[in-house]
Structure 1
Amino acid sequence: MSNVVGMLLILSALLVFVMAVLGLISPRKLQRKNSESAPKRLHIALAGLLLPIGLFIIGGAFLEPQKAGSDVASVNAVEAPAPAPAPAPAPVASKKNLGMTPEEFRKAYNDMIGQIDKSWRVAEFEINRGEVNDGINAALGKSVHIVGSIDKNNGKLLGLIVILGGSQAEENVRAIASLLTVAHVTTQGAPKEKITSTVNKLLKDAAAKIDDPSASSEKMIVGNRKFTFSASRVTGFMFTVNDSSSE
């Protein structure tokens, strides 16, 4: 129950933050019907900074720590009797990945998002077969989409891209919940509060440059993951998750 309360508080903080960003871009979007003037940008900025921080701190206190599992791999050595063994071939470097298959990601995602709303859980992904890598391309909600590439050798996810769109408040809440869930279930080696605050900062910084088509993406490493955020009036918000050591 405490996890549910914590997640709701964190989602509320992100929703307040998104509304503040929209308000900074166009204050009239936050103007009350019976008010003659729009709120000042200074007031919007203060509310958009202080309220989310308070809600993040309170929500983080409710969240229970999650134990990270560990995989143990066993290697069997096979000796081949040969009078003159040939030189061993150079080992093939494995691609950096997220350490989970699409199905493992889906189950972890559903476990967390289901604590907020069971109807937000997603069905099994359809795997699209490719010549180099396989992939997934699925909807996590009405205004949120996920795209991922899969290593054909081991079936692990190489990276994920989450695309956010829509303008309705209900759509934004689910989109933010999906975004936060993807970040949490794919990242190890960092506290939940750090993951959440990083997503918050990247989203804010990307939104500030949404009208600049030449703006560079916002990037930050958290634990064993590299988060990348970009924003565009045409494509919406795009959030990418990769291994922290990937280029």
Structure 2
Amino acid sequence: MTGSIKSFLKEWGLLILLTFFVSSCRSFFAEPRYIPSGSMLPELQINDRLIIEKFSLRNSLPKRGDIVVFNSPYSFDKKLISSRAKPLPKKRYCFFMSFPPMSFIPGLRDQACDAYIKRVVAIPGEIVSVNSNGELIINNKLIPEPYVSYKCSLSLFNKCGEFENIKVPEDHFLVLGDNRANSWDGRYWPGSKFLHKKEIIGKAYFRFWPLNQVGFFSK
């Protein structure tokens, strides 16, 4: 066996061990995530690195204002699933596809394996609307959202996904991106606008990169 093959096997062996170690950590308490898009600007910048805390949501529901990570709508929205040409991928497949080098191989990625990060803006039982500016109205009252800097005057989507007076179902939430002009969120999901609690992976807890933004997220 040549030295290059030994080196290759050693590197991949370490990667496999690391994969299983991270898998066990991700199953219970917390996991790292990075921000790949600008849908949560300005609160979250592209390439920010976060720790997502998973434990507290086991016995409680998220609150309005919480930033949550959740499974891809392509894995639970019935209309999106019905448009698939092949069955949904297994959780094991999605897990391994989340690690390099697999995640960098063209054609292997499946949208159903992605995770999204948005903000909880409406909770079960509330009557919610979103107007053409991307502003939130709950129970006929305009809700102040100081974290929203980019409204919809320059939206990439038609009429900012506006809708009127829909009741949030039990155990569901409306989640929107802070960058209302450029966020594919509950406003645009074809099967239902609302996220079931079982699809939530965890909530943003701590930012560890970049160094000048390190810190906990406010409650």
TM-score, scaled to structure 2 = 0.25
> More strand by proportion, 1 or 2?
2
Work out which of the two has the higher radius of gyration on C-alpha atoms and give 1 or 2. Answer: 1
TM-score, scaled to structure 1 = 0.23
> More helix by proportion, 1 or 2?
1
Larger RCO: 1 or 2 (CA < 8 Å, sep 6+):
2
